[in-house]
Structure 1
Amino acid sequence: MAFVRAFGLAALALGLSLPALGQGIPKAQSPEEVGFSSIRLKRLSDRLDEGVKTGEIPGAVVLIARNGRIAMFQAFGYRDREAKAPMQTDTIFRIASMTKPITSVAAMTLVEEGKMSLADPVAKYIPAFADTKVSVKKTNPDGTVEMGLEPQERPMTLLDLMRHTSGLTYGALGSNVVKQSYLDMKVMSADQTNAEMVAKLSKLALLYQPGTHWEYSMSTDVLGRVIEVVSGLPLDKFIEERIAKPLKLGDTGFDVPMEKKDRGAHPQKEGPKGETPPIPDVTARTTWKSGGAGLVSTAADYARFLQMFANGGELDGVRVISRKTIDWMTADNLPPDIKMGDDMWRLGPLEPSARVGQGFGLGFAVRVDQGRNPLPGSPYDYHWGGVWGTYFWHDPRERMYVVFMMQAPSVGQQYQAMVRDLVYQALTSN
C-alpha cells in the first residue's frame, strides 16, 4: 500500500501520466500554496490507509482542488483486492447517482437552445404521463386503509424531474404499494430501452401529487428519455457529444471498451453476510442507458466536470452552459412548502430538508444554511453521492471541489462524512 502511494506521487512529480495530472488541471506546488495544511491532510491519508488495512474498504481515490489547482490526488489500497491489483489514480468507477448532475447539464443545454423549457409538462414529450394517476390512501368505514387513485392536480413538469418533485419514486428506500410496483414491473431492468422504461413508469401510480413532496426517484431517468425525444439522439450519444467530448472526459460513458477492463474498480465482500455488492463491471454494456445512475468515470474526469462549474460553464475555452444556468442549477429550487417523502430521512445528511439546512438544485443537494447539517461546509455548496460509494462536492465560497471514489456501498455514508470532516479541518487559509 505504501508502495502504491509512493508510485502515485512519483508519477505526479515526473509527469508520467495524463490522468495522474488531473487531465489538464494543474497541480499546486504544495497543499499550502492553495491554503491547506500538509500535516492535516495526512490525517485523511492515514484514515484511508487504515480503512484499507482493516478491510473496511478495498481502496479509494481522492482528488481535492482549490483555486483551480490540485492540492491532493492520491490512490489508496486496491482496485481489486482479491487480485491484489493496486488502486491507481486513473481507476474507473461505476458512479451511480453521480450520473444525475451530468444528465441534468445535458438537459440544460437543450433548454439554452430553446428546444424545451423546464415549465413544460413531461407529457409534452412523453404523452403517456398525461394519464398517470396518483396514489391516495382511503380509510374505509371499518377503519381499514386501502390505496386508491386520483388524477394529477397539476401536470408533472420538467422542473419536477430536475428537482425530484415529480411524484415518481424508487423501488427502494422504504416499502409501500407504489414502491413494490416498481419492483414487480422491473422498471430498472438492464435489458430495456429508455422508451420501454418510461412506458412502464407511466402505467404505475405516482407516490405523491407533483410538486408537493421531495422524493428521491427515477426522475432523472425520465429526464434522460426526454433528452432523447427532444434531441433525436440516444442518451449515451447525446452525453458523449455534449458533455464528454467537449470536456475531454475520455473515461466517462455508460461503459468503457474492453481494453480498459483492467482499470475498473472492483468491490469486495462486505456486510453481515459477506456478500459482494452487485456492481456491474465498467465494461458491461446494457441496453438501458440510465440517466440517473448509469455512468462510469474517473476522479480526474469528474474533476474536469466540476472545474467547468467552477469556471462558470466553460473549460479550456469550450463553453458547455452559461454562467446564469450554473447559477440557476446551484440555487435551491424547492418551493417553501415542500414536504419530504416518508422515507427520505434514510438519506441522512444528504436529505434536502430545512431540518438539515439543505435544499435541492437541478441535479444535486444544495446547502442553504451554515448550521443544522451534521457535516461541515459552506452555504451554497452543492453535492451528491452514488450508492456504490462515490461522492463529490463543490464549495464555491472556498473555491474548492472534492471527488471521492470507491466501490464500498455498506460504508458509503460513513466515508462521505469522514472525508468532509478531514478535508475541512485541513483548510487553514483563504
Structure 2
Amino acid sequence: MPAAGIAPLDRNFGRRLDQVVDRAVEEGRIVGAVILVARRGEILHSRAAGFADRESEKSMIPDAVFRLASVTKPIVATAALALVEAGVISLDDPTAKFIPEFRPKLTDGSEPVITIRHLITHTAGLDYGFRQPANDPYHRARASDGLDQPGLSMAENLARITSVPLSYAPGTSWGYSVAMDVLGEVMARAGGATLPDLVDRLVTRPLGMHDTAFVVRDRARLVTPYGDGPAEPVAMGEHHLVPFGEGGAISFSPGRSFDPASFASGGTGMNGTASDILRLLETLRTGGGTVIRPETAAAMTTDAIPGLETTMPGWGWGQGFAILRDPAAALTPQATGTWRWGGVYGHSWFVDPTLDLTVVALTNTAIAGMMGAFPDALRDAIYGWQH
C-alpha cells in the first residue's frame, strides 16, 4: 500500500520519470511518447521522447497529434453534462426518448429502460467486443467498438448493438462498453447538430483545444500507430488486431480517422494533443471553467456507482472515468478520490486532486502505453513510490 508521508514531485521526480521513458523506448516497449506533469496548473515536467514514426526515424514532437481512443470519453462526457445544464437532456431521460429504435432486451426478452445516467456511468448492460472472446455476441453481430470498420454508419452499428441481449439489467452492475457511442447519438439527436459540432461548440473551442477533433486537423503531426508485438511494437496496417485480456483482441483500423462516412464515436473517435488533454483535465480539476458549473464538475469527478464493483480493484466510476476508492486495494500511491483513465492506442492520464496534480502520457503504442509496466512505472516515478 502507499508509503506513509510520501512526497511526490520531489527534486528527483523528473529524473526518475525520464529514466522510465528512456528505458521503455530503448527496450522497445513503446515507440514514442509525450508526457506532461502539472501541479496547480503549472507544468513542472514535459517530455517528447522516441519516434513519431520509427521507420522514417521521425522524432516525437511536443505537439504531436494522437488518435485518442478512450481519451475521447471525458471530452464527450463534459459536452453531455453541458447539455444537461442547458436543459437539452436529463440524466434520467430514457435513451429511447431520443433514439426510439434503440431498445435492446435482456436475455429473458424483457425490455428495460436505459437512461442517459446508465450510459455515462457504464451501467447500461452494454459491452465492448474487445472484452469478449472471438465468437461471443458482439463479434457475431459485427458490432464496432468505434476503432474499426471504416465507413460503418451509426444507424447500422446501433442496429447491431441492439440485436445483442444486454449483459445485465441496467443499473445493477458495471461494464465498460459502447455506451458512450450511444450517448453521442443521443446528444446529436437532442442537440440538433452532429456530435463533432456539439463537442466543438461546447468544449474544445471554448477551451482553446485547437488540435482536438473528430477529424485530424494536421496530418503532418499525426503519429504512426503501433501495436504490441512479440519482439517489438509492430506498425499497424489498415486492419490490425492486438491481443487483449483472456481470449480477446482489439480491432484497429487507423484509416478510420480519415473516413467521413465512419460514425462519430463518442467513446473512441477523437484525435488530439497532450497539451489539449491537459487543458481539459485542468479545467475539470478547477471547477469546470466556462464549460460546466462547479457542482457539475464535482459530480463528474465523484464516484457515481457506490455499491457496484468495477473490474478494477479499488476503483469506482464517475461520469466519464474511473474514481479511486481504495488506494491499498488498487496498489497505488495515489490519493483516494484520484480520477484517471486512458486509451487503447497507448494513452494514460490521471488527476490527483488532493495534490492538485495532473499527468498526461500519450504514446503511439497499443497496449503497452495504456496499461501495465510503463504507465505504472511513470506513476510510481512521480510519487517516488517503491513497492
> Could you say which TM-score interval applies, normalised by the shorter chain?
0.7 to 0.9
- 1:382 corresponding residue in structure 2: 339
Aligned to 1:128: 101
Deviation at 1:202, TM superposition (A): 2.2
2:259 maps to 1:285 = yes
Q: 1:271·1:410 contact (CA, 8 Å) conserved in 2?
A: no
Distance in 1 of aligned mates of 2:224 and 2:256: 9
* Aligned equivalent of 2:317, options 360, 373, 392: 360
Question: 1:59 and 2:32 equivalent?
Answer: yes
Residues 156/115 of structure 1: CA separation in 2 closer, same or farther (3 Å cut): same
User: Which consecutive residues of structure 1, in runs of 5 or more, have no partner in the other structure?
Assistant: 1-33, 136-148, 345-350
Partner of 1:106: 79
Report the Cα distance in structure 1 between the residues aligned to 2:348 and 2:319, rounded to whole angstroms. Answer: 17
Task: Answer with 1 or 2: which has the greater Rg.
Answer: 1
1-structure distance, mates of 2:137, 2:127 = 8
Post-superposition CA distance 1:189-208 (Å, at most 9, x none): 33133333223322332122
Deviating more after overlay: 396-405 vs 276-285: 276-285
Q: What does residue range 405-424 of structure 1 map to in structure 2 within 5 Å?
A: 405-411=362-368, 412-414=370-372, 415-424=374-383
| Cα shift at 1:100 | 0.7
Helix, strand or coil at the partner of 1:213: coil
Partner-residue secondary structure (3-state), 1:290 = coil
Instruction: Look up the match of 1:403.
Output: 360
- What is the rounded CA distance, in whole Å, between the counterparts of 1:199 and 1:322 in structure 2? 35
Letter matched to residue 170 of structure 1: Y
Paired with 1:237 and 1:369, the residues of 2 have a C-alpha distance of 38
Q: Which 5+ residue runs of structure 2 have no aligned equivalent?
A: 1-6, 241-251
- Choose 118-127 or 171-180, whichever is displaced more: 171-180
Q: Are the equivalent residues in 2 in contact too, given 1:52–1:58 (CA < 8 A)?
A: yes
Q: Is the 1:171–1:182 contact (alpha carbons within 8 Å) kept by the matching residues of 2?
A: no
Q: 1:265: Cα distance to partner? A: 1.2
* 2:281 corresponding residue in structure 1: 306
CA distance in 2, matches of 1:187, 1:357: 26
Task: Output aligned runs, 1:258-269, within 5 Å.
Answer: 260-268=218-226
Using a 3 Å threshold, how does the CA distance of structure 1 residues 179 and 116 change in structure 2: closer, same or farther?
A: same
Counterpart residue type for residue 96 of structure 1: A
TM-score normalized by the length of structure 1: 0.78
Mean CA deviation greater in 395-404 or 261-270: 261-270
The residue identity in structure 1 corresponding to 2:338 is: D
The aligned residue for residue 291 of structure 2 is 320
Alpha-carbon shift at residue 171 of structure 1 (Å): 1.1
Contact 2:150 2:255 (C-alpha < 8 Å) held by counterparts:
no
Task: Indicate which of 106, 115, 121 corresponds to 1:157.
Answer: 115
Residue among 186, 190, 194 paired with 1:234: 194
- Mapped to 1, the partners of 2:33 and 2:145 lie a distance apart of 31
Query: Structure 1 pair 35/296, CA: closer, same or farther in 2 (3 Å)?
Result: same
Residue 273 of structure 1: how far off its partner (Å): 7.6
Contact kept, 8 Å, 1:133 with 1:206, in 2: the verdict is yes
Aligned equivalents of 2:324 and 2:79: distance in 1? Answer: 23
Residue 371 of structure 2 aligns to a residue in which SS? helix
**Deviation per residue, 1:365-406 (Å, 9 max, x gap):** 000223211222111110101011111111110001000010
Partner of 1:141: none
Task: Report the structure, 1 or 2, having the larger helix content.
Answer: 1
The share of aligned pairs that are identical, in percent, is 34
Q: 1:36 to 1:111 in 2, by over 3 A?
A: same
**Shift of the alpha carbon at 1:151?**
0.5
Residue type at the aligned position of 1:161: L
Equivalent residue letter for 1:272: P
Aligned twin of 2:61? 88
Counterparts of 2:21 and 2:297 in 1: how far apart (Å)? Answer: 33
One-letter amino acid matched to 1:262: A
**2:192 pairs with 1:220:** no
The Cα of 1:253 is off from its aligned counterpart by: 0.5
TM-aligned CA distance change 1:332 to 1:74, over 3 Å: same
**Looking at both structures, which has the greater relative contact order when contacts are Cα pairs under 8 Å and sequence separation is at least 6?**
2
2:126 equivalent in structure 1: 168
Kindly provide the amino acid, as one letter, of the partner of residue 289 in structure 1: A
Q: Does 1:392 align with 2:349?
A: yes
Please say if residues 392 and 402 of structure 1, whose CA atoms lie closer than 8 Å, have aligned partners that are also in contact: yes
Q: Which amino acid aligns with 2:314?
A: G
* Alpha carbons 2:151, 2:256 under 8 Å: kept: no
| Shift, 1:270, TM fit | 3.6
User: Are the aligned partners of 1:81 and 1:268 in contact in 2 as well (CA < 8 Å)?
Assistant: no
Q: How many residues align?
A: 357
The whole-number CA distance in structure 1 between the counterparts of 2:333 and 2:8 is: 17
1:102 deviation in Å? Answer: 0.7
In the alignment, structure 1 residue 48 sits paired with structure 2 residue 6: no
Can you list the C-alpha shifts for 1:250-278, whole angstroms capped at 9, x where unaligned?
11011223xx2221111346412864334
**For residues 190 and 367 of structure 2, what CA distance do their matches in structure 1 show?**
38
Question: Within 1, Cα distance between the matches of 2:12 and 2:163?
Answer: 57
The answer to whether the 8 A contact 1:178-1:206 is kept is no
Q: 1:359 to 1:95 in 2, by over 3 A?
A: same
